[in-house]
Amino acid sequence: MAIRVLLGFSIPEEDLGHLFEVYQQFVENVFSLPVDLPFSGYRRGIQARQILQKGLEKAIREKLQCTQGKDYSDALDLLIESSKEHGKEMTMQELKDGTLELIFAAYATTASASTSLIMQLLKHPAVLEKLREELRAHGILHSGGCPCEGTLRLDTLSGLRYLDCVIKEVMRLFTPISGGYRTVLQTFELDGFQIPKGWSVMYSIRDTHDTAPVFKDVNVFDPDRFSQARSEDKDGRFHYLPFGGGVRTCLGKHLAKLFLKVLAVELASTSRFELATRTFPRITLVPVLHPVDGLSVKFFGLDSNQNKILPETEAMLSATV
């Protein structure tokens, strides 16, 4: 999605698979100690970045040469046009850096949130069943269990209130990134401390969610806290900010939420799934929130009566997310 939808690249599947493997190496080492020694994480990250940028430069040049047949502007188009409007043509290096940043922002965070969503549905079967009840009420899932063809539209998704609550609660408890940085534009005072102009400040999304007074039982996974009856997030502007806030809020937040909603509907309506290990994995926060060794899950397709369709071998439907 990041490559094709946000950036508008047409990269063959084989090349895309290779780039993905290199990208994984880049992500794993992006926060390494800056010690440039052979076989160090820092060196591996630099090497992966160089390979990525070489592949991205080829894709960017092909994109710039082929502008016909498009009826929409993707994120890279907007980045290029914005620089032109401000009288500054972006260099190829700037385009490569901006492209790599967009891929990181789109992939790593959405993969993190998707994994957290699956983990919470595994831990809370009552939430999953309540979600299925909402899908049945909106005609997306028959009482027998089969998903209805052609019913998953944008306006339909917007009407799924409980689904929205589930996604919001996943993003409250398991925000992919810990926070963000801002530059102080003018000196101000906060709680008796003077913050000088020009300083860099960091705001913590996780600490904000954990300490916000509007949320009751902050450590409990409770999607209903976002229901119309309770609306715990409505009191105050910045108690809930999984996508940041202000003019620099995440540009892809609506696409990310749409992706998570579609994933949740697919999981709830077309499969049964269970943890493939004895215990849930340990969670780490760097570079984004994710299970240390991945989340191993067994997925089973469903027949019309919501019974598992057993594969010839369990390995066929076993996956790590």
Residue at token pair 């005072």: 189
Residue 220: what pLDDT? 97
250 assigned binding-site residue: yes
Q: What pLDDT shows up at residue 203? A: 92
Give strand pairing partners of 180: 203
The encoded tokens of residue 55 equal 């592949």
Please give the model's pTM, rounded to 2 decimal places: 0.85
Sign of the torsion angle spanned by Cα atoms 117, 171, 108, 288: negative
Q: What is the pLDDT of residue 304?
A: 56
Cα separation of 67 and 77, whole Å? 10
**Average pLDDT of 104-108?**
85
Q: What is the pLDDT of residue 44?
A: 95
Q: How far apart are CA 34 and CA 258, in angstroms?
A: 37
**Residue 103 token pair:** 């891929």
Which range of 71-80, 192-201, 295-304 scores highest in mean pLDDT? It is 192-201
- Residue 310 has a pLDDT of 60
Residue 181: pLDDT over 60: yes
In the three-class reduction of DSSP (H, G, I as helix; E, B as strand; rest coil), residue 150 is classed as coil
pLDDT category, 196, cuts 50, 70, 90?
Answer: very high
DSSP class of residue 177 equals S
Residue 315 has pLDDT above 60, yes or no: no
What is the token pair recorded at 37?
């020694």
Between CA 42 and CA 292 the distance in angstroms is 20
Burial class (CB in 10 A: 0-12, 13-18, 19+), 28: middle
Q: Which residues of 66-102 are buried (b: 16+ CB within 10 A; e: fewer)?
A: eeeeeeeebbbeebbeebeeeeeeeeeeebbebbbeb
Q: How big is the chain by its Cα radius of gyration, in Å? A: 22
Q: What average pLDDT does range 170-183 have in this prediction?
A: 94
Give the other-Cβ count within 10 Å of 261's Cβ: 20
Are 137 and 160 in contact by the 8 Å Cβ rule? The answer is no
For 318, the enclosing helix (H) or strand (E) is strand 318-320
Burial class (CB in 10 A: 0-12, 13-18, 19+), 141: buried
Question: Between helices 92-123 and 161-173, what is the axis angle to 10°?
Answer: 110
Write out the two tokens for 94: 């700037």
Distances (CA, A) of 159 to 137, 139, 165, 260: 11, 12, 12, 15
**Predicted local distance difference test score (pLDDT) of residue 314:** 52
Question: Of 78-82, 236-240, 290-294, 308-312, where does mean pLDDT reach its minimum?
Answer: 308-312
> pLDDT tens digit string along 251-288?
889 989 999 999 999 999 888 999 999 999 999 998 89
CA distance 76 to 56: 12
Q: Which of 77, 80, 95, 74 is nearest to 255 (CA)?
A: 74
Pick the more confident residue, 251 or 57.
57
What is residue 297's predicted lDDT score, i.e. its pLDDT?
96
The residue with tokens 């689904």 is 163
Could you tell me which of 204, 111, 220, 130 has the C-alpha nearest to residue 169? 220
CA 39 to chain centre: 30
Rounded to the nearest integer, the mean pLDDT of the chain is 88
What dihedral do alpha carbons 184, 185, 190, 194 form, nearest 10°?
A: 80
